[in-house]
Structure 1
Amino acid sequence: MVAPDRDGVDFYRTARHRPPAPPLRAHMARAFEGSPERWAHHFAALLTTSPDSPLHDGRWVLSPDPPLRLRPNHPQGESPGEYWRSLLVEGDPDGYIEWFIHNGSWEILPLRAMPDADDPRVKAYRKQARDGVLPPVLLWWVSGLDCHLVLDGHARLAAAIAESVEPAVLELQRTVPQDEVDSGTEQAVATYETELERFTALRAAQGPRVPDGAEFAGPALARRLDELRTAHRPTWAWPLPGGVREWDRIAREQVGEGGWEYG
């Protein structure tokens, strides 16, 4: 439920989440060591076949370099463990996502309670973290929450935090439709060619003091093509199975007869 002042959203976890990937074995972690591309292909194959995958119609990007690593205004000298722990949304099973606390989409919402550092699975992953072979955490950016969800890898993220190492991360996001990519690419290339012609004419009239057109227009073209390839698009959502009646039942169980206010 979005807050009335639009500064955040309430959430409630139903304990129905099932990760799209089976447990990752140690031999695979060592075989894929240092290869985010191989992990991306591995998870992409699982996401396209798993019944628990969130994929729906559209184009999707699986990126090894999410913007979470670039959160502004975090304290200087903060350890990796402190940094990634600060991104986790608290609350189990319910809580509140504050949209302005980090001035952007910097929070991470676990889809189940984070395991303790001494959990057996976390202990196994902590050794992999120390050895530098910890598999990546799969995050899913959801536009309606304006944050990332831990789609797979709660224990791996807990291990990285416990060992205070930078976790490998893959970010899943819905991106620009192919027809928009094609038309946008044509427009961007046409703009680039027009700029080259303009600078060629200027250099012919004013001499070499006019900068080279490719140096001026090339970076803008590269940025636009990257935006077309990776820009976020809204995430689809579906009502809770059972509809309003089921939502009301859960609300009464969790917060009393008054339930939540929602529209």
Structure 2
Amino acid sequence: MAPGLLLTVPSWGHWLRRPLLHVEATRPYPLRVMLGGPIEGTGELPVPPCAPDGILRFPFFRSEEWSWAGPGTPEERSGGVIPLRAPFPESGGRLKAWRKHARDGTLPPVLLPYLTRVRKWLVVDGHDRLHAALLEGRVQPLLGLWSIFEELVPEDERARLRREGSRIAAEVRLRARPGEVDAVNRSLLREHEPVHRLAVTRAFPLRGGAAAWKAQVTAWRKGSGATVPSDDWAAFVSEPG
């Protein structure tokens, strides 16, 4: 993963922006997310994005089962890429223009903020560019953005042992694959960082609280005409116990 750019926004805290590479969708939800849904924590390292073709499947409302071994499409797994709107038709002029950029290798990156609560990436800018890259069979540049929590790494015996273990693992890896010097160096540098920058998802109060939010989503449901199973909707709008 390429070095990132640390941004500080007044009243919004610290943010990290970093180029990303997508991976194959092979990971189910991790254990910390599986147990009854997402749980509160002090942050985590983002998982790589997977299943970018998830932007072609846009339901107005979707319910997911937080199951370790249950069935599910790739974008429903940890690292899935989730669109915020339906894709435009392939015959449209805008998409045709972006497909030419894809063939020429001149597509600007897609901006993906990270949601730690569900370990997913959202497309906030670049739906058409990502769609064009998929149609052309090209790798689309991805730019991740996430709010961070800085955690000091304690200088204790546990940290010393972990670093010693990483050094031994690096030696073993280089003996087997001498060409991976850069990757090994990056891993060792991470192990010796005095601060871990963990991803967090920030939330801000809504004027009117839960009642105002429920009124907004109920109005949206009526206006959108989306078909939502009654049990799923009841669970969605229910107040946490």
Normalised-by-shorter TM-score class = 0.5 to 0.7
Tell me the CA shift for residue 235 of structure 1: 3.6
1:48-78 Cα deviation digits (max 9, x unpaired): 6xxxxxx962321111125x325327xxxxx
Aligned mates of 1:165, 1:120 — CA distance in 2: 19
Q: Please tell me whether residue 250 in structure 1 is matched to residue 205 in structure 2.
A: no
Q: Please tell me whether residue 72 in structure 1 is matched to residue 26 in structure 2.
A: yes
1:224 to 172, 178, 191: 191
Aligned mates of 2:222, 2:112 — CA distance in 1: 31
Tell me the CA shift for residue 171 of structure 1: 0.9
Report the counterpart of residue 20 of structure 1 in structure 2. Answer: none
Aligned mates of 2:110, 2:201 — CA distance in 1: 22
Report the counterpart of residue 152 of structure 1 in structure 2. Answer: 125
- Map 1:41-52; keep pairs closer than 5 Å: none
Aligned mates of 1:245, 1:118 — CA distance in 2: 38
1:20-61 Cα deviation digits (max 9, x unpaired): xxxxxxxxxxxxxxxx88xx87xx99x96xxxxxx9623211
Report the counterpart of residue 139 of structure 2 in structure 1. Answer: 166
List runs of 5+ in structure 2 lacking aligned partners. Answer: 28-50, 171-183
- Map 1:101-120; keep pairs closer than 5 Å: 101=72, 102=74, 104-120=77-93
Report the counterpart of residue 61 of structure 1 in structure 2. Answer: 16
Tell me the CA shift for residue 240 of structure 1: 8.8
Aligned mates of 1:156, 1:188 — CA distance in 2: 47
Cα contact 2:56–2:87 (8 A) shared by 1: no
Tell me the CA shift for residue 151 of structure 1: 1.1
Tell me the CA shift for residue 162 of structure 1: 1.1
1:62 aligned partner, one-letter code: R
Aligned mates of 2:195, 2:23 — CA distance in 1: 22
TM-score (norm 2): 0.58
Q: Please tell me whether residue 187 in structure 1 is matched to residue 148 in structure 2.
A: no
Cα contact 1:109–1:148 (8 A) shared by 2: yes
Q: SS at 2:112's partner residue? A: strand
Report the counterpart of residue 203 of structure 2 in structure 1. Answer: 236
Aligned mates of 1:113, 1:145 — CA distance in 2: 21
Structure 1 residue runs of 4+, over 6 Å off? 217-220
Q: Which has the larger radius of gyration?
A: 1
Q: SS at 1:116's partner residue? A: coil
CA distance 1:124–1:58, change in 2 (3 Å): same
2:90 aligned partner, one-letter code: A
CA distance 1:84–1:215, change in 2 (3 Å): closer
2:62 to 71, 76, 95: 95
2:201 aligned partner, one-letter code: P
TM-score (norm 1): 0.54
CA distance 1:223–1:57, change in 2 (3 Å): same
1:248 aligned partner, one-letter code: T
- Map 1:198-217; keep pairs closer than 5 Å: 215-216=167-168
Cα contact 1:144–1:235 (8 A) shared by 2: no
RMSD of aligned alpha carbons: 4.3
More helix by percentage: 1
Tell me the CA shift for residue 236 of structure 1: 2.4
